[in-house]
Amino acid sequence: MKTIKGPAIFIAQFIGDTAPFNSLDNICKWAAGLGYKGVQLPTLDDRFIDLQKAAESKTYADEVKGIVNSHGLEITELSTHLQGQLVAVNPVYDELFDGFAPENLRKNPTERQKWAVQQLKYAAQASKNLGLQASVTFSGALLWPMVYPWPQRPAGIVETAFEELAKRWTPILDVYEDNGIDLCYEIHPGEDLHDGITFEMFLDKVNGHKRANLLYDPSHFILQCLDYLEYIDLYHERIKMFHVKDAEFNPTGRQGVYGGYQNWVDRAGRFRSLGDGQVDFKQIFSKLTQYDFPGWAVLEWECALKHPEDGAREGATFIKDHIIRVTERAFDDFAASGADDTLNRKTLGI
């Protein structure tokens, strides 16, 4: 068994225009001071990493890595969530998602998608240059406006959408294979890959591609009323990344899973800071340890109530206290009989 690495922190929700959140050096110093051992980097802000440059220059990648290492931290993974979203966009969301792309590509879905695909490829190459093992993204969505089957979906539309999704992602997955990097989809509402079944449908269409893997985030499953512990049993071979994020679901007579168009504070299902929600992290860390999860435990802070800096400070300790240092021997070794093959055979009468 392996001891899960951590604690680490995804810095996307903390980036800002004032210190210590306005540069890679500053934010790493801040994270290290809280007790974190790793940082997960978003890739759309050049103040933290120039993705294309990191893909094309090992020297530059080493410089970025050096800044992080100088604070006693490691880069855990790169994130291309927003670029991945743009690989597949239903036209109803074109304008809403335009803000994820450079200004000169807005109102041009075809060129925007080409840019997003190239970004994903850069992330594979940059991850290799940085010496990483995995990267996280979103799948994007062609079908999400039809997630509820009313009006009745046209016959064959689901099959067509997943075939198209696979057609767009397979060449990207091949680049990740060429660079030895696992591409982990964050299973998330708003994406065509939003639960186990949809991931299986996608995996079938990409012919079980070895680089099509998963980021595990139980908070999204609490809000869907999905069994997030059995999910680990079912998909542990594909789980290569882990976001430690809490959530709660408190349905009432007025609202349930869909949230009634309420803001995050007033929704029945909402994200919480670690320890403030309903996720059973003791069981999660136990299962991931049992299955030899190879990666990092990374805080993703999202909470409608608590201040982010408090969530980050508490989160470092929370993750540290949940990481299981694996045993190097069986608990009953003290009673070992010392038997050998001859005695074993004699005992069995063979």
Nearest to 130 by CA among 142, 118, 122: 122
Residue 347 has pLDDT above 90, yes or no: no
Nearest to 135 by CA among 43, 260, 265: 43
Mean pLDDT of 132-152: 97
Residue 153 has pLDDT above 80, yes or no: yes
Residue 141 is given by DSSP the state B
pLDDT digits (tens, 9 = 90+) for 1-40: 899 999 999 999 999 999 999 999 999 999 999 999 999 9
Residue 89 has pLDDT above 80, yes or no: yes
pLDDT bucket at 168, cuts 50 / 70 / 90: very high
**How far apart (Å, rounded) are the C-alpha atoms in residues 215 and 242?**
5
Q: What is the mean pLDDT of the chain?
A: 97
Q: Which of the listed CATH numbers 3.40.50.1000, 3.40.50.300, 3.40.50.2020, 3.20.20.150 matches domain 5-348?
A: 3.20.20.150
Residue 335 has pLDDT above 90, yes or no: no
0.85 surpassed by pTM? yes
Nearest to 132 by CA among 175, 167, 61, 181: 181
Residue 337 has pLDDT above 90, yes or no: no
Domain segments of the chain: what residues?
5-348
pLDDT digits (tens, 9 = 90+) for 44-62: 999 999 999 999 999 999 9
What is the SS3 string spanning 78-129? EEEHHHHHCCCECHHHHHHHHHHCCHHHCCCHHHHHHHHHHHHHHHHHHHHH
pLDDT digits (tens, 9 = 90+) for 183-219: 999 999 999 999 999 999 999 999 999 999 999 999 9
